[in-house]
Amino acid sequence: MLKKTSPGDLYLSIQDLWKAFGEFLALRDISLDINEGEFICFLGPSGCGKTTLLRAIAGLDLQTKGTVMQDGKDVSNLPPSERDFGIVFQSYALFPNLTIEKNIAFGLENTGRSKSEIAVRVAELLNLVGLPDQGSKYPAQLSGGQQQRIALARAIATNPGLLLLDEPLSALDAKVRVHLRHEIKELQRKLGVTTVMVTHDQEEALAMADRIVVMNHGVIEQVGTPTEIYRHPSNLFVADFIGAMNQLPAVAGDAETLELGGSILKCEPHSLQKGNRIVAAVRPEDIIPHGEGARSPDAPDVITTPENAFEVLITEMEFLGSFWRCRLSHQIFGAKELIGDFSINAVRRLGLEAGGQMMIELPRNRLMAFTPAEEG
Amino acid sequence: MTDTTSLPAGPLIKGKLSRDDLIMRGGMMVIALYLVVTLAFPLWAMLSKSFSTYRIELSQYEFQVSDDNGVFSGTILNGTQLNTETGAYTDQELSTGSDGRLSVTPFFPDFSFRSPVMYKIRNTVPDGRFLIGSNLQKGTDWVELDSNTFRRVQLRPIKATGVENFANYFSTPALFNSVKNSIWIAIVSTIITVTLAFWFAYALNRSCMRFTGMFRLVAMAPILVPSLLPGIALVYLFGNQGMLKELLFGASIYGPIGIVIGSVFFTFPHAFLIISTALAISDARLYEAASSLRSTPWRTFWTVTIPGARYGLISAAFVVFNLVITDFGLPKVIGGQFNVLAVDIYKQVIGQQNFEMGAVVSVVLVVPAILAFAIDRLVQSKQVALLSARSVPYRPKPHPKTDRIMLIYCSMVALFIVGMLAVCQFAALIKFWPYDLSLSLNNYQFDKMDGGGWGSYFNSIKMALLTAVIGTSIIFFGAYLVEKSNGFKTGRALFQMFAMLPMAIPGMVLGLAYIFFFNNPSNPLNAIYGTMAILVICSVTHFYTVSHLTAVTALKQMDTEFESVSASLKQPTMKLFARVTVPVCLPAILDISIYLFVNAMTTVSAVVFLYSPKTTLASIAVLNMDDAGDIAPAAAMGMMIFYTNAAARILHLIASKGILSRTQAWRSR
């Protein structure tokens, strides 16, 4: 395929896209730009519309309204066969009665390629996905992971400008999944093909995507790089959906503070109205454990340094292999407990144990303020 | 921020159809059109026929009579008035069929065809009609005729629409009795068949008795013969010169007893299959739970086994009921004076040429058939929901005493089935029952009998082969289109409905509807009337539903994304269909074709109205030879059908195995 664009240029542009199933709105006013060569993940809980959006891009289920521009061309109303994409499904959808070679060659036939050209291309693709000598087998004779690689090879055989992956790893074992996601990412980088993957697995999205599109209830909640999404979630849904997040009811202070159970804490800058009810949020792994020694010797009751620090009670400790998960309580949390993940090192160094006291710090650049969910 | 709670105004995206979409929709339209022409139109023709009444309207004719010199006085006599004065015709005689004719001379008591008196006749309304000889007279002009010509004048009826035919039907006890008879026979046969089939299936699925494979085979044998064959066997066993006549203690086999026994024979495999499936899916965990709660076997049977199989039992009951009430061949052969609906249709149409009344009986027969069909569909949809992926199949444990009782029971049922077939075969080989018991092949000289001879046998094979090939292609392709095409929801739902309809239409009704529709001279498709084509079309339509459901079930097991993948690879859907869908569904396709072949070989009801002297069929020959008293040749021909179908099944089995091992290598790991 001859492309007009080069890496980094705008390749796929979705504007004001709506999808209605009867009364139900599956996609609501979606606009999104995807650049050439990017790896994009649609991430969200089931029913959020991510697969619907993918199928609209493919033309498999047309959107009700809105435009899809691909490579500078309006493809909004084109059937799948007139668009330029390869697709891999969760079920692999390999043709069971055709050998692996025939499966991969399926899209290469009737394209003006000679038989020998096709054979060469098939061998090349089998090499690319690391299954060079499996060509004469039938799909049922391969493992799930191998089948998915064949499905991938079949999808990229014709060098499509866009690769669509619909939960490609969901049907696989955890170990195979981790291994294969690395391979897919590698392959995508090597080929430089613009890729959109749908997943409900945040770890997968964080590991693979250049940018993640977080969706919920048919709308895009946030678009950003994995670190942006993780570090600076734009709302409580994203904060809660990606990774673990402690949530405590609080009141907004001025632009860089919030009030938690009567204490004023420094936090990430926010634009919330002072005095409003808000949610203070911090990730378990961002809580910094301090030993007793961090307490100021001059005034033992008041903790001056570090800022945002207080003494908590460890109510419970759970060993999770690579770290300890601790439940921490303090009067300013109210009835809620804070969850803190501490390294094994820290636990040993500070001598932490259930029922004991410890000092923690909620770092100001990791403590976030969000509008509560009901209003969002 | 924009409002995201409701769809904004403005035009919606209208998808551009790809070439594949167009091909698939076009294909679907063609097959839908086929169903409309071969099913909806004929049924409509039949329905309107049942509401067509024909009556000779005397008030629409006027007459003048001259004196002996041929001079007319000018006195005009009205038909109604004449009839009142002379009392020539009763009111009932004026209600007639489409072929009704009425002579006018009885209106004139002095009439003599030698007299010099002249007569004038005319219609008072423009659409009035009468015949002079064979010339139709329309219009309101006076026609002057001498007395010799006047006696050849016949009045013709006027067509109207009304419920009189139905009123007539329900007020004629001889006809109306059949409704009662049919329902009575169907209920009794259903109870007996379902009970027998249940215990048979229970023995095969839930006991450790031996020879289950053989019993399964025997149980399916009746499917391979026309439904009238057990009737012939019963005539030999219990008829006037029957071998075991004394066992009936004077009761006659010709009538309800014969119909019920024969119905049990030919519906047994259907009931057995359904119940066997229901028993096979029962969950072993329930039995473990029952035995751990120390339930007695009897209690377990009523609280676990029966509820688990209840949908199968209900479904089997309605299927059997439907088969019996719509069957024509068996009551025709063994019914004697006992009238049932399906035979009434035949008698009205073939015997009395009263097509309107035949249509009325058909409509009456469709009602219980559709009801039974609808309930069965409802029940079957629930049966599916009962299956759970976690169910553990039940494995029976040996239980010598029960196993022996089961074996004895199954042997008796098998003996009944095999016995009926053996009697027919035996009868076919006897020279002249009961006087000359030496063996001969004389009864196979079909060419010396009524019914079309060996030609009809080969016609049947040709017809069955054509039905299998054409039917399988149309039905499977139609099922594929309706299952796998995009969008077009209303069209697809409509198609599904049409595909389900044939099952609810009894064969007799379909055949009669075909007469009304295709035998109409103004129908451009009239040319196929009396040809092999109409027999094939009728059979394909008659057996459409089961084949369609088989195809749909197979297609539903295919990955729904194959079409998406193929489209993304820019390959035509028809290539996918040929390269993947057909090969993967080959077992189902072979099943459909053998189903169509066997049914086309044995069907009587649908085609009995449609064959012509050139297209006589083996199953019809059985009927006609039996009708003519050639019962032994009828049995011989019936057994030929059996052997042909058995051979076809064996061939099918070999072919399936051969093709499967070659093309389905992918199934094995």
Q: Tell me the pLDDT tens digit for each residue of B222-264.
A: 999 999 999 999 998 888 887 887 787 878 889 999 999 999 9
Q: Which residues pair with B220 in a beta bridge?
A: none
Residue in chain B closest to A68 (alpha carbons) equals: B13
How far is A260 from A253, CA to CA, in rounded Å?
10
Do B564 and A58 lie within an 8 Å CB cutoff? yes
| Token couple for B158 | 């006027």
For the residues B461-484, what does the mean pLDDT come to?
95
How far is B559 from B612, CA to CA, in rounded Å?
47
Do B15 and A110 lie within an 8 Å CB cutoff? no
DSSP one-letter code for A33: E
Q: Largest alpha-carbon pair distance within chain A?
A: 86
Which of A14, A81, A146, A216 to probe the B interface (max B CBs under 10 A)?
A81
- For B188, the 3-state DSSP assignment is helix
The pLDDT tens digits along chain A (376 residues) read 455 567 778 999 999 999 999 889 999 999 999 999 999 999 999 989 999 999 999 999 999 999 999 999 999 999 999 999 999 998 889 999 899 999 999 999 988 899 999 999 999 999 999 999 889 999 988 999 999 999 999 999 999 999 999 999 988 888 889 999 999 999 999 999 999 999 999 999 999 999 999 999 999 999 999 999 999 999 999 999 998 999 999 999 988 899 988 888 999 998 888 889 999 999 999 999 987 644 555 655 556 667 888 888 999 999 999 899 999 998 888 888 999 999 999 999 888 889 888 889 999 899 999 998 764 4
User: Taking CA A77 as the corner, what is the angle to CA B26 and CA A222, rounded to the nearest 5 degrees?
Assistant: 140
Tell me if chain B has a CB within 8 Å of the CB of A155. Answer: yes
Do A80 and B568 lie within an 8 Å CB cutoff? yes
Residue in chain A closest to B662 (alpha carbons) equals: A97
Dihedral over Cα of B524, B527, B533, B535: its sign = positive
* pLDDT single digits (tens) A143-165: 999 999 999 999 999 999 999 99
ipTM above 0.95, yes or no: no
8 A C-beta contact, residue B379 and residue B318: yes
Q: What CATH number belongs to A245-370?
A: 2.40.50.100
Instruction: Chain A: give the shortest CA distance to residue B30, in Å.
Output: 23
- For B270, the 3-state DSSP assignment is helix
Burial B16-50 (b: 16+ CB within 10 A, else e): ebbebbebbbebbeebbebbebbbbbbbebbbebb
Instruction: Chain B: give the shortest CA distance to residue A17, in Å.
Output: 10
Who's near B540: CB < 8 A, 6+ residues apart? B38, B467, B470, B471, B474, B475, B596
Nearest to B18 among A16, A63, A81 (CB): A81
pTM, whole model, 2 decimals? 0.85
Do B569 and A107 lie within an 8 Å CB cutoff? yes
Q: Is A73 left (phi over 0), alpha (psi -120 to 50) or beta?
A: beta
Tell me if chain B has a CB within 8 Å of the CB of A311. Answer: no
Do A79 and B21 lie within an 8 Å CB cutoff? yes
Chain A residues inside the 8 Å CB shell of B21:
79
Interface of A with B in 4-23 (CB under 8 A): 16, 18, 20
* Cα–Cα distances in angstroms (integers) from residue B227 to residues A305, B89, B377, B518, B544, in the given order: 98, 44, 24, 27, 19
Q: pLDDT value at position B258?
A: 93
Do B666 and A107 lie within an 8 Å CB cutoff? no
8 A C-beta contact, residue B166 and residue B360: yes
* pLDDT single digits (tens) B47-78: 998 898 888 888 888 899 888 888 888 888 88
Residue in chain B closest to A67 (alpha carbons) equals: B13
Chain B residues inside the 8 Å CB shell of A91:
559, 561
Chain A residues inside the 8 Å CB shell of B10:
65
Which of B484, B564, B661, B663 to probe the A interface (max A CBs under 10 A)?
B564
Q: pLDDT value at position A303?
A: 64
| Choices 3.40.50.300, 3.30.505.50, 3.10.20.30, 3.40.720.10: CATH for A10-236 | 3.40.50.300
- For B311, the 3-state DSSP assignment is helix
Q: Which residues pair with A197 in a beta bridge?
A: A41, A165
* Cα–Cα distances in angstroms (integers) from residue B602 to residues B220, B558, B596, B606, B642, in the given order: 14, 33, 10, 11, 9
Q: Where are the domains of chain A?
A: 10-236, 245-370
Question: E-strand spans in chain A?
Answer: 10-21, 24-35, 39-43, 65-70, 73-74, 86-89, 162-166, 194-199, 211-216, 219-224, 246-252, 257-260, 263-266, 277-282, 288-290, 309-319, 323-329, 338-343, 357-361, 368-370
8 A C-beta contact, residue B238 and residue B258: yes
Do B568 and A62 lie within an 8 Å CB cutoff? no
Residue in chain B closest to A162 (alpha carbons) equals: B568
Interface of A with B in 186-225 (CB under 8 A): 218-219
Same fold for the pair A10-236 and A245-370: no
Tell me if chain B has a CB within 8 Å of the CB of A315. Answer: no
Q: pLDDT value at position B112?
A: 84
Chain B residues inside the 8 Å CB shell of A140:
666-669
| Token couple for A159 | 């060098």
Nearest to A79 among B10, B15, B561 (CB): B15
How far is B388 from B380, CA to CA, in rounded Å?
15
Q: pLDDT value at position B199?
A: 94
Domains of chain B (ranges; CATH) run 19-49+454-667 (1.10.3720.10), 58-157 (no CATH), 167-425 (1.10.3720.10)
| Token couple for B340 | 């049932």
Of A3-12, B277-286, B598-607, the range with the highest mean pLDDT is B598-607
* pLDDT single digits (tens) A316-360: 999 999 899 999 998 888 888 999 999 999 999 888 889 888 889
Nearest to B571 among A77, A85, A107 (CB): A107
